[in-house]
Amino acid sequence: MSQSPQTADDRDTGPPIAGLIGSGPAMREVYRLTRQVARSNASVLLLGETGTGKELIAKAIHQLSPRGSGPFVRVNCGALAENLLESELFGHVRGAFTGAIGNRTGRFEAAHTGTVFLDEINSTTPKLQVKLLQVLQEQEFERVGDTQTIRVDTRVIAASNRDPLREIEEGRFREDLYYRLNVVTIELPPLRDRPEDIPALVTHFLKVYRRRNDRSQVPRVERAAMQALQKHDWPGNVRELQNYIERAVVLGPDDLLTEAALDLKRRRPKRRGSSDLPALVSELVAQGMATAGPDAMDLQGQIVDRVERELIAQVMADCANVQVKAAVRLGINRNTLRKKLRQYGLETQ
């Protein structure tokens, strides 16, 4: 029997570009919004946990847009300190700061006529957010150390792995910048909310890692293994699933992906549940009152530090001291985690 031709509705709900996998209701809605917003020049805010594929959606929006032939420039805002990030985004002139031995073009200039993708924009400081707001409103900026205004024609797609409204409430993100970015918001669902997409993802990653590891065939997936994968909560989302499949291909039998090879139970991180937090806080308050001394004026700050130190130490232990995983679990970027580890003397633990 011949296959029915693909309808317009099928094309509109399927992945908009290669590399996007998933056909469940949640991802079909993401694809619909991606295609719709791509036709415009509007700013887009992508929300989702780390590992949900925000960069792939940003690339899809760019490629499907009239700017698709222009540059796509990605900036990880959480990977650099404020002064370095400002120079990275806007460029600098010679002598602007120590080490600035020449003029440098920033990422916004490099993305002229194309798209700049600001990943982890929630990591930017209030000072830098003011300059980002200027670019969004006026399409112009000054290089670091310069007074000459540079105009650009650049579309901005931003991504956050935290709730921006909560960041605003806690004073870490400017409300005016949020509303300027939030012309269109696309929320990417966590993998635990779309288990129906896991079989297709597993099949894809098995083919990828079979080739990379020179295996003779793509392993079949044991039924119990697939069920275990679909029940796992995946705090690291698709990226974590990818790592599990690679490990199973490397260590497991050539012909079968087994539940034992995945070893999900042994590798499942132990989390401190929300019900444990009141007891933890009470314990640390008692410790703080016992050790802070009668003249201490910053007891609250000490208690907060103790809670934060205990939480980071617990998560680091659960993640076998792997900083990338711990940062994902804590919802902070890796540079922030490193600073906290130094601050609390946890670097060698």
CB 159, CB 54: distance < 8 Å:
yes
Using DSSP, state whether 93 is helix, strand or coil.
coil
Query: Band of the pLDDT at 294, cuts 50, 70, 90?
Result: very low
* Mean predicted confidence (pLDDT) in 129-134: 93
Average pLDDT over residues 12-36: 87
The two three-digit tokens of residue 1, written as one number: 């029997």
Q: How many residues does the chain have?
A: 349
- Condensed to tens digits (0 to 9), the pLDDT of residues 45-68 reads 999 998 999 999 999 999 999 999
Nearest CA to 70 out of 59, 79, 78 is that of 59
Long-range contacts: 269-273, Cβ < 8 Å, 24+?
269/235, 269/318, 269/319, 269/325, 269/329, 270/318, 271/318, 271/329, 272/311, 272/314
Query: CATH topology for 195-267?
Result: Helicase, Ruva Protein; domain 3 (1.10.8)
Query: Domain extents for the chain?
Result: 8-189, 195-267, 274-343
Structure-token pair, residue 97: 């700061």
The Cα 273–Cα 266 span in angstroms is: 18
Q: Are 218 and 204 in contact (CB under 8 A)?
A: no
Q: What pLDDT is attached to residue 126?
A: 87
Q: How far apart are CA 193 and CA 83, in angstroms?
A: 38
DSSP 250-268: HHS-SSEE-HHHHTHHHHS
Range 164-171, long-range pairs (CB < 8 A, 24+ positions): 164/45, 164/47, 164/122, 167/122
Closest CA to 62 of 84, 81, 44: 44
Q: Distance between CA 84 and CA 87 in Å, rounded? A: 5
* The two domains 8-189 and 274-343 share their CATH topology (first three levels equal): no
pLDDT in tens, 253-289: 778 888 888 888 754 444 444 445 555 555 555 555 4
pLDDT level of residue 7 (50, 70, 90 thresholds)? very low
Q: Residue 36 — pLDDT band, cuts 50, 70, 90?
A: very high
CA 332, 336, 338 angle in degrees (round to 5)?
Answer: 120
Looking at CATH, the fold of the domain delimited by 274-343 is given as: Arc Repressor Mutant, subunit A (1.10.10)
Distance CA 144, CA 89 (A): 10
Classify strands 184-187 and 155-160 as parallel, antiparallel or unpaired. Answer: unpaired
State yes or no: pLDDT of 203 exceeds 50: yes
Q: Look at residue 4 and tell me whether its pLDDT is greater than 60.
A: no
Q: CA torsion, points 245, 249, 254, 255, in degrees to nearest 10?
A: 0
The candidate with the shortest Cα–Cα distance to 339, out of 307, 309, 317, is 309
Longest Cα–Cα distance in the chain? 85
The neighbour count for residue 276, using CB atoms within 10 Å, is 11
**Mean pLDDT, to the nearest integer, of 303-318?**
77
Which CATH superfamily, name and number, covers 8-189?
Answer: P-loop containing nucleotide triphosphate hydrolases (3.40.50.300)
Q: Is the pTM of this model over 0.85?
A: no
Distance CA 28, CA 22 (A): 8
Continuous H helices in 170-322: 175-181, 198-212, 223-231, 237-251, 259-262, 264-267, 277-291, 299-318
